[in-house]
With several copies, the nearest count.
Chain A
Amino acid sequence: MSTLTLRDRYLAMVRMRRFEEACLAGVADREIHGEVHLGIGQEAIAAGLLGYLTDEDALVSTHRNHLHALAKGVPMYPLMAEIFEKRTGLCGGFGGHMHIFDLPRRFSTTGIVGSTLPVALGHAYAARLSGRASVAVGVTGDGGANAGGFHESLNIAGSLRLPLVVLIENNEWAISVPFEESTATATLAERAVSYRAWGKRVDGLDVLAVASAFGEAVDYARSGLGPAVLEATCYRFRGHYEGDPDMYRPAGDRDARRRDRDPLLITRESVVVEGGADPVSLAQEEQAIADEVDTVLAAVRRDLMPDGMQARDHVFTRGTAR
């Protein structure tokens, strides 16, 4: 188990929420011109990952990747700058929100659903080849778990006992398709047996429960026993992407979930009530985080877009394949 306190994790969640809100502002002001998928409401999962991974461990994420990037230690500034399509971004503005790459931290993403696990499996195989006791985390949503790559990757990991940790964020929806309608079983964790994998389902609004289960999963994989499947349940607070009219979910249910089951509020309550945190100093720390994010946002907004003249760079043929 990591040495992080509940308060640490809570503050990380605050930082994540503020980060997503900064992105929201970028959408509202049309600074981000592509589509954006936010993880608001799912912070307890990402914050539960903290403390278990080093730069030697890999994490491969999805279209909904910002929180995982932060959890993996990707610095906020170049991350936000990439999402804002700026030349100061991690990829110089060539990648954008769905294509975040931070090689030194072994963090990458893809916008194609189901494509994360195969890449994570490659990192897990690299660990084997290089004799490193590292793990590779592949993230998928509940929807992505129905793609063929899930099966292929877990079977390979199981048969070679590779250190692959599959983190399923089950937020009950894949765009407009509810989990129960698209999945044969009641849980996704129970599929673990098909791959001789460790499997567990955890309440993804409970950051400590996630942390403890993720710690177990990582330990299992790291010790060479094979892959682990951790399913964390949660709820997508916003539309699938910013701009999604989200008419397919009962509005009453959605509003109630957001009001009554916000992981940020739940965790804050624990920090104060059970952890006995001083509300004043907590509020100060929250404010400091908000200020940090605001400062980054303001700076990113001042950054330049990439130079259009470079649009043909970075392909070996330089746009003259022909």
Chain B
Amino acid sequence: MSIASEAAVRNVNVSQCVAEAINLEMDRDASVVMLGEDIGRSGGVFGTTRGLQRQFGPDRVRDTPISEMAFTGMAVGLAMEGYRPIVEIMFVDFIGVCLEQVYNAAAKIPYMTGGAVKMPIVFKTAGGCIGSAAQHSQCLWGLFAHLPGMRIVVPSSPYDYKGMMAAAIDSDDPVVFIEHKGLLLRKAGSFAHGREVPRERYLAALDRAAVLRPGSDVTLVTLSLTVGESLAAAAVLADEGISVEVIDLRSVVPLDFDTICASVAKTGRLLVVDEDYLGFGLSGEIVTGAVERVGTSAVRHVLRHGVPDVPVPAALSLEQQIVPRQASIERAVRKLASRS
């Protein structure tokens, strides 16, 4: 992926890219409707739905009461009626009040009906750490990924935020779309990758990882905000003589093992950087999946860097110790690169 010429980089932030995608889909397809808290009158707490209610009216862009169980269930009913609902769970941390409708209904109905009923629902939600402590900083893609029947999409660049949201709405499968709070207000121009965001509609593939930086010593697999952190780390490490191949997963379910394994076969060293909890989640799945595919002899060294299975603490001094960011990623790469 090449860095676009400055001329082509629009002065938009990531939230605007999301709003643009939803806008274009709603415009072309009257069956797309949206439900959630503060998505209408305010345009979303991060602005990802700005302008939509004004354009499409309060019925299609519905500000709901704080009743997540009811409105996630509404999406299931709407999907059975032929609508394509987008449901916003403001922060992913709140999923504990309504996981029921997501995993027991939306995710299972296509299977439980023997394929007779589709559930084209997007569960749009914001994750990631921006300093709001234990109940407002989680990622939780590992939680959703464990439960079959849903695509789990986690973009990292402005281009993908727009294109993957469009593809998520377009998909007939239930999709969990996890934004990072720390990216939503960033300008496209501040990104090192995927800065160029076309005005018109486009779809970005929902199940392909991207090699953002080629390298030969270490395969670094990551997603969401830590993609940018990892690219920055890789640049520093290159100066130290460590060549890091940075892979942006983009999708958690399904995982693109073709891309991951091709890289690991080359480097023999696999580092997974994950802002979600480390245990029983994404990183274990990637390491195991790679070992299953290319064998333990090809995967010579593995390392995981993620939130070490503690809640996210309030104080910055504590938070910095457990949330992966550029400096800690550099340390992890150095540690892995030194093994032989």
Asked if A and B touch directly (CB within 8 angstroms), the answer is yes
CA–CA, A90 and B109, complex, Å: 13
CA–CA, A34 and B129, complex, Å: 10
Closest residue of chain B to A99 (Cβ to Cβ) is B112
- A126 beta carbon closer than 8 Å to chain B: yes
List residues 25-51 of chain A with CB under 8 A from any CB of chain B: 33-35
List residues 184-218 of chain B with CB under 8 A from any CB of chain A: none
B339 to chain A, nearest CB (A): 19
- A115 beta carbon closer than 8 Å to chain B: yes
- A262 beta carbon closer than 8 Å to chain B: no
CA–CA, A111 and B138, complex, Å: 13
Contact bitstring B151-193, A, C-beta under 8 A = 1, else 0: 1000000000000000000000100000000000000000000
- A289 beta carbon closer than 8 Å to chain B: no
Contact status A312-B322, CB under 8 Å: yes
CA–CA, A177 and B58, complex, Å: 12
Which of A206-214, A266-274, A293-301, A314-322 has 4 or more CB atoms under 8 Å from chain B? A314-322
Contact status A129-B83, CB under 8 Å: yes
Residues of chain B contacted by A176 (CB below 8 angstroms): 38, 40-42, 63
B173 to chain A, nearest CB (A): 5
The answer to whether residues A101 and B113 also contact, given A121-B77, A159-B65, A317-B148 and a CB cut-off of 8 A, is yes
Contact status A312-B315, CB under 8 Å: no
CA–CA, A128 and B33, complex, Å: 12
Residues of chain A contacted by B93 (CB below 8 angstroms): 112
Residues of chain B contacted by A306 (CB below 8 angstroms): 114, 313, 315, 317-318
CA–CA, A148 and B315, complex, Å: 32
Residues of chain B contacted by A143 (CB below 8 angstroms): 65-66
- B75 beta carbon closer than 8 Å to chain A: yes
Total chain A interface residues with beta-carbon distance under 8 A? 81
CA–CA, A221 and B219, complex, Å: 60
Residues of chain B contacted by A174 (CB below 8 angstroms): 37, 65-66
A293 to chain B, nearest CB (A): 21
Interface size class for chain B? 35 or more
- A18 beta carbon closer than 8 Å to chain B: no
Contact status A34-B131, CB under 8 Å: yes
Closest residue of chain A to B136 (Cβ to Cβ) is A111
Residues of chain A contacted by B295 (CB below 8 angstroms): none
Contact status A108-B115, CB under 8 Å: no
Contact status A85-B315, CB under 8 Å: yes
- B7 beta carbon closer than 8 Å to chain A: no
- B1 beta carbon closer than 8 Å to chain A: no
**A314 CB contact (under 8 Å) in B38, B105, B110:** B110
Contact status B73-A106, CB under 8 Å: no
Contact status B316-A322, CB under 8 Å: no
CA–CA, A315 and B63, complex, Å: 31
Closest residue of chain B to A184 (Cβ to Cβ) is B65
- B132 beta carbon closer than 8 Å to chain A: yes
CA–CA, A284 and B60, complex, Å: 54
Residues of chain B contacted by A136 (CB below 8 angstroms): 77
List residues 250-302 of chain B with CB under 8 A from any CB of chain A: 253-255, 257, 278-280, 284-285, 288-289
**A85 CB contact (under 8 Å) in B74, B135, B314:** B314
Q: Which of B37, B41, B81 has the most CB of A within 10 A?
A: B81
Contact status A322-B289, CB under 8 Å: yes
CA–CA, A35 and B73, complex, Å: 24
Which of B96-104, B224-232, B235-243 has 4 or more CB atoms under 8 Å from chain A? B96-104
CA–CA, A177 and B62, complex, Å: 11
Residues of chain B contacted by A112 (CB below 8 angstroms): 93-94, 96-97, 100, 104-105, 135
The answer to whether residues A86 and B148 also contact, given A99-B112, A176-B42 and a CB cut-off of 8 A, is no
Residues of chain A contacted by B131 (CB below 8 angstroms): 33-35
Q: Which of A136, A151, A248 has the most CB of B within 10 A?
A: A248
CA–CA, A311 and B314, complex, Å: 10
- A313 beta carbon closer than 8 Å to chain B: yes
B321 to chain A, nearest CB (A): 4
B242 to chain A, nearest CB (A): 26
The answer to whether residues A317 and B253 also contact, given A94-B111, A175-B38, A248-B42 and a CB cut-off of 8 A, is yes
CA–CA, A94 and B321, complex, Å: 13
CA–CA, A149 and B105, complex, Å: 14
Residues of chain A contacted by B97 (CB below 8 angstroms): 112, 114-115, 147-149
CA–CA, A114 and B70, complex, Å: 10
Contact status A122-B113, CB under 8 Å: no
Q: Which of B33, B63, B94, B104 has the most CB of A within 10 A?
A: B63
**B133 CB contact (under 8 Å) in A98, A118, A159, A317:** A98
Contact status B101-A99, CB under 8 Å: no
- A146 beta carbon closer than 8 Å to chain B: yes
Contact status A308-B111, CB under 8 Å: no
Contact status B70-A315, CB under 8 Å: no
- A230 beta carbon closer than 8 Å to chain B: no
- B29 beta carbon closer than 8 Å to chain A: no
List residues 87-139 of chain A with CB under 8 A from any CB of chain B: 87, 90-99, 101, 103, 106, 108, 110-115, 117-126, 128-130, 136
- B327 beta carbon closer than 8 Å to chain A: no
Residues of chain B contacted by A96 (CB below 8 angstroms): 132-134, 313-315
21 contacts between A and B (CB under 8 A): A58-B77, A94-B314, A95-B112, A96-B134, A98-B135, A103-B116, A106-B81, A112-B104, A114-B97, A115-B101, A122-B73, A122-B78, A146-B65, A148-B69, A176-B40, A176-B42, A306-B318, A309-B321, A315-B309, A316-B151, A321-B145
Enumerate the 4 nearest inter-chain pairs by beta-carbon distance, A residue then B residue, closest first: A122-B77, A118-B73, A96-B314, A92-B114
The residues of B with any CB-CB pair to A shorter than 8 Å are 33, 37-38, 40-42, 45, 59-60, 62-83, 85, 93-94, 96-97, 100-101, 104-105, 109-117, 131-136, 145, 148-149, 151, 173, 253-255, 257, 278-280, 284-285, 288-289, 308-311, 313-322
Given contacts A93-B318, A113-B66, 17 further A-B contacts (CB under 8 A): A90-B116, A99-B113, A99-B135, A111-B136, A122-B85, A125-B74, A126-B81, A147-B68, A155-B70, A175-B37, A176-B38, A182-B65, A306-B317, A315-B311, A319-B308, A321-B145, A322-B280
